[in-house]
Homo-oligomer: A and B are copies of this chain.
Amino acid sequence: MISGPYLLYLGEAADPISVKTARGIAQWRPDACIGQRRLPGCEIDLGLADLTYAEAAAAGAKIMVIGDANAGGVLRTSAHPEIIAALEAGLDVASGLHQRLKDVAAIQDTAQRLGRTLHDVRDAPEGLKVGTGKPRAGLRLLTVGTDCSVGKMYTSLALEQEMRARSIPADFKATGQTGVLISGNGIAIDAVVADFISGAVEQLAPARNVPGWDIIEGQGSLFHPSYAGVSLGLLHGAQPHALVLCHEAGRPHIRGLEGRPLPGFAECIDANLAAARLTNPTVRAIGVSVNTSRLDPRERRAFCENLSDTLGLPCQDPLIDGVGQIVDNLIACFEPS
């Protein structure tokens, strides 16, 4: 369990995508964010107070979160002395990078000397078991995608928020490092040993013996040749009753793989439903969450309406429209009237 309060470390970040972890935390846990720490050259501003480590500690921050990431997930060397300074000032440090904090000797030594905690949130829990696929109690919703980085975490959190606003119990279950830092727990599913993908999800969202829903954050896509194994194991382990498909309108090709087209919507929904039926034969698709930010603003509503007509499912941009229609459909499909 990681709970903050947080100081968000942005380093020298110049690229908005590189700070998506920090931005996600600032967006979904604003009360837990005490401030930001930026180095000269940083071009990102999350609108938080710029604090030194001593100021952050004095203001109540407990954990500094490494909020920028580069391709490959390696910790920038410019961050090493900053992390050490934060530890010296009394903060613990959390990171979701592939490269572990504890594997940098100077950081590990400092933390040990001072009795501080290093949270490498991509570390898998000990003692994971293989999945069983055995039916378990409770209702579960999983977000799936036409690709990576299309808004599955955002959509999952928006669904949790909307359902709670309607007094439907809902619990976000994080499967990625940003989600773990937002919700305080979870499992970075892309970092577990391959044999335990579905088992890890069964552990993350075990039998739910109370009303309401587990909202499980999806990862990757069945159509992404780098990550589809993760997506399928997650789909089987989640044993979902409801799927919400996430998509970025206008994306030219599969993320990172120029020339590889995205799947069609119906093809993508059908493939996810077919695979999901292995562990939950009653699974159904209940909506589509579309990031329309690449579209001309005048085209956005038409895009969602056309897609909704084609698929017979509510299609919404969660940033613009919220996810109310998707939750309406969830209720219509699953809640006794």
Contacts and interface: CB of A to CB of B under 8 A. Distances in A.
B133 A257 contact: yes
A241 to B, nearest CB: 16
A189 B278 CA distance: 23
Interface stretch (A14-22, A107-115, A228-236): A228-236
A195 B197 CA distance: 10
Interface string A189-230: 111111101110000000000000000000000110111111
A191 B198 CA distance: 14
Contact of A229 (B129, B133, B194, B257): B194
A3 interface: no
| Copy total for this chain | 2
Report which residue of A98, A229, A278 has the largest number of chain B beta carbons within 10 angstroms of its beta carbon. Answer: A229
A134 to B, nearest CB: 7
A96 B6 CA distance: 42
Interface in A25-55: none
B131 A195 contact: no
A72 interface: yes
A136 B257 CA distance: 14
A279 interface: yes
Contacts of A279: 225
Contact of A223 (B129, B132, B278): B278
A130 interface: yes
A232 B234 CA distance: 12
A197 B190 CA distance: 10
A270 to B, nearest CB: 10
Interface in A67-102: 71-73, 98
Nearest to A230: B194
16 contacts: A72-B129, A73-B195, A98-B193, A131-B225, A133-B225, A133-B260, A192-B194, A193-B193, A195-B226, A198-B227, A198-B229, A225-B279, A228-B233, A228-B236, A228-B278, A229-B231
Given A194-B194, A223-B278, 17 more contacts: A72-B130, A98-B195, A131-B226, A190-B195, A191-B193, A191-B195, A193-B194, A194-B229, A195-B226, A197-B229, A198-B226, A222-B232, A225-B237, A229-B231, A229-B232, A230-B233, A271-B274
